[in-house]
Amino acid sequence: MNMPAAASLRIGLAAAAVLAAAVCAPAMHIERVVSPGGIEAWLVRAPSSPQISFEFAFRGGANQDPVDKAGVASMVAALLDEGAGDIDSRHFRERLEDKAIEISFRAGRDHLSGSLKTLRENSDEAFDLLRLSLTAPRFDLADVERIRSQMLSGLRRETTSPNDIASRRWWATAFAGHPYGRAVKGTLDTVAAITGDDLRTYARRVLARGALKVGVVGDIAPAELAAVLDRVFGSLPAAPALSDIAPTRPKGLGSRIVVDLDVPQAVVIVGGAGIARKDPDFMAAFIVNHILGGGSFSSRLYREVREERGLAYSVYSTLVPLDYASLFMSTTATRKEQAGQTLDVVEQQIKRLAQEGPTEDELGKAKSYLKGSYALRFDTSGNIASQLVAVQFEDLGIDYIARRNDLVDAVTLADVRRIAKRLLDGGLLVTVVGRPQGVEGKGG
């Protein structure tokens, strides 16, 4: 008796996870594969794996939504696997399930991304279904309305979510008049107005070979992958028809916006200008952010906000390098009675690090953590493939993964002290949602 497809995939996923632990070693070999049609992919071969993982992305995500139709990219992403070619949504789903094939799409601010996971034995069917979803999506009316209903339901829930309200208000203020100021998932009004023609136009403009990056991990030879690339993507337009996006910086720095919402906690978002991913100082900025609040229990924000004062359960900071802007952001949530004190502590720690810079001990611990934890980004074949795509879009070079920890090591104490001031001393835009005590709006 043949093993059910779903059970086979579970075994395949488990094997792929074991495999990932091996291929993420420093000696991981990445091959550049170029198809006869000129489509490039980066490949990590894994002959012992029963699974093939495809990750790919097209430049031009929600930033390509029409001005009055925010949410188009998100709706397209939700519909690309809802029927294609002569296969309606129900039968498309059945064919995926019968062969335990996973195809999914997602829209971000700068990219529309997709992934495919399939057992080696079902790869022909998987590649055909992926090709159809990209080149001949149906956008049938019934499916469009079903997805629209789901999106609107989610947006209604967000109208009472302090986290979502704070985020939307921050982005709308920081990037007023710019595509980054529009909500990736749209609004109740814009999603309601999206038509089938909007979806088809977006797909024609964005899904093109010239805007594509691909990462692949699994049991597939370079020559076979080259043929697959042309088979899946070859009939897409050669070049995208993307709208020009102006580089920008966040506005409203120095402003503090308070949104009234009757909830027990107050959500706080602070953010300002960051450092671009291609900037030579990015790695130093990355280390500075880690020391401030980049996710470890030793960060200054974690220690001062949670451990020393018990003001919040979670507090963190991050760098957000986008295609047309770069950001530094920090987020936390606290009881409304403690909101003023919490915000004061966060701003004080940012100011202190900007003025004094990290200590030598902090730099050493940050380097050790960041080098040791880097392998966690490669814990599955899908994550490895995603990293291959990200490195391509960031134009870091095919040897970046092997060089990355050396780049961390090369950062000096003088570097992080210089970059701390550049990164953290440029002013902050603050949004607070709730009924925070001790927080007053200003500017904005």
Structural domains of the chain ordered from first start: 5-233 (3.30.830.10), 256-376+395-434 (3.30.830.10)
Q: How big is the chain by its Cα radius of gyration, in Å?
A: 23
Choose among 296, 295, 297, 315: nearest CA to 305.
315
3-state class of 223 per DSSP?
helix
Q: For 123-127, which contacts have Cβ atoms below 8 Å and span 24 or more sequence positions? A: 123/52, 123/220, 125/95, 125/99, 125/101, 126/52, 126/99, 126/101, 127/228, 127/231, 127/232
% of the chain surpassing 90 pLDDT: 91
Contact 355, 417 (CB under 8 A): no
Residue 20's pLDDT band (cuts 50, 70, 90): very low
Taking the C-alpha atoms of residue 354 and residue 363, their distance in angstroms, rounded to an integer, is 15
Cα dist from 265 to 146, 165, 432, 433, whole Å: 34, 13, 10, 8
Take residue 9 and report the two structure tokens written for it. Answer: 């995939």
Contact 151, 106 (CB under 8 A): no
Contact 386, 55 (CB under 8 A): yes
H-assigned helices in 159-221: 162-174, 188-193, 196-206
Angle at 443 (CA atoms; ends 440, 444), nearest 5 degrees:
110
pTM: 0.92
* Residue 93 pLDDT > 70: yes
Residue 27's pLDDT band (cuts 50, 70, 90): low
H-assigned helices in 215-298: 222-233, 282-293
Cα dist from 171 to 161, 181, 250, whole Å: 16, 5, 9
pLDDT digits (tens, 9 = 90+) for 157-198: 999 999 999 999 999 999 999 999 999 999 999 999 999 999
